[in-house]
A and B are shown apart, each in its own frame.
Chain A
């Protein structure tokens, strides 16, 4: 038992060191018990029956890509500069930093005899249920890296929602981190004042994807979190892929009020050639991100100062 404990401590330390030496800004560990209320088929033990721990790793979105996206969304003339956010604020961070670190983590753990399943930072979905195969956001909260904001994104104490996450489910019993116990980050009362009666994330959403009266309630590690229900189909599959006329999409495409997975596919088939070719090199990236970029929690003074100056 003594040996197992010292192994646990040593492996946990090595795992965290590995993450940090690969440019990862956040790393935390959640025991699988914290996911007991996750939806059926999406629990760590559904994906790895011998799962003991979930390692969550996160990386910050740099200020430059945040800024270009804000400028592009505020000024249609500069629409083209948003590629910096789509790639450096999304694709590259997910694939070449988070997924790469997850891959290295798996190699470390499997080298020690523990089967480990890396989850892709973005893009893998259970298309039948329109949800992620495994929620990296929920894992980040379970691993103590932050708390849920009203926008349903994990808010870290330093940069708020401006970070991306990946998870590794492993049969290794690692030393768990406590859940986030710091001061409340998402201050809804204050935020509603700034957002004209609604939290900023909901008020800045160009397509009103956040519900006014329907909330999501989740229980993680015995702690209850509440955040807004949002239309993920409209956000991810229409706005996110650059199809919505209000968010850099083609002006002549008609978007129905409600989009199903099937109708989303038909919409994609109508994407103009230029828009398809625009993302040919890097695949895709999210065309909006305002609920994340405008959240007051962890906002950068440098970015806000430039935006204030531009808006004058």
Chain B
């Protein structure tokens, strides 16, 4: 109890918005190699930490996507919506909590908020999304993003796998947030997240994901198609140049496309390294969308 309180204090005093603890066992249905016990034999719990994306940052993304002339506004989202919250806030806090737990005699393995992937399987190395759901912070939406009650998918997460026997939260089981029937109406028959995806990386095929005893039905996500959009390799995903995307995308294709980018686009990333040019499935999701941002977008469209 005392440990939970202290960890929560560290998280909240470092500007994070969400804190939850999952029983490590609840993630044992993850694929072999990415279960908590693969990272840390003897893992007891998984701490999930999250941070909301600022409204101005969300607006900058939507503005850039709605007005080509204002494409440059996406820079705010690239950094403040991806790099900074992930690397500086979530990861930095994750190591502070890791250090605290070690001081208390436990081992803790922090994952990365903006995780890369296992190059052999193309799977995420550890799913911060599933950990957040296991820690009760939100529901697993059809687009395989965590939907929090207040901000929907507009949050980023990091996890800490630890041997500490912390008090745990239940897997998310509150009211249903992802209303597929309603969402299909908004998306001309397909859920909005899939409808707005510029690279068609979401669905239509589906999968079942088991977290604890709960089964979630989500779309299958094509990570490489998603990466094509996220790295701005098409104009619809705010690239400066449309690079022809093959039907089946692999890492070689992404890499070659990166070389084909307009040099100005690689230059704009010189300082911040990389960021997410797309984010449309997050921004357009009706769950937890901000009325202020919507009002601002109406003003932009009325101009």
Contacts and interface: CB of A to CB of B under 8 A. Distances in A.
A286 to B, nearest CB: 15
Given A87-B91, A96-B87, A96-B92, A79 B120 contact: yes
A233 interface: no
A38 interface: no
A23 B118 CA distance: 31
Contacts of A309: 41
B117 A65 contact: no
19 contacts: A60-B99, A62-B95, A64-B40, A71-B39, A78-B38, A83-B112, A83-B116, A92-B87, A96-B92, A97-B95, A274-B251, A276-B255, A277-B119, A279-B116, A280-B116, A281-B114, A281-B273, A281-B274, A306-B42
A79 B38 CA distance: 11
Given A80-B120, A92-B95, A282-B87, A65 B255 contact: no
| A contact face: mostly helix, strand, loop, or mixed | helix
Contacts of B126: 81
Contacts, number: 121
B273 A277 contact: no
A30 B107 CA distance: 34
A62 B119 contact: no
A310 B126 CA distance: 20
User: What is the interface of chain B mostly: helix, strand, loop, or mixed?
Assistant: mixed
Interface string A26-68: 0000000000000000000000000000000000101111011
Interface residues of B, number: 44
Contact of A83 (B102, B115, B255): B115
Contacts of B108: 62-64
Given A282-B87, A302-B107, A64 B98 contact: yes
A254 interface: no
Interface in A72-92: 77-81, 83-84, 87-88, 92
A84 B112 CA distance: 7
Contacts of A303: 107
B2 interface: no
Most B CB within 10 A of own CB, among A62, A68, A277, A278:
A277
B251 A65 contact: no
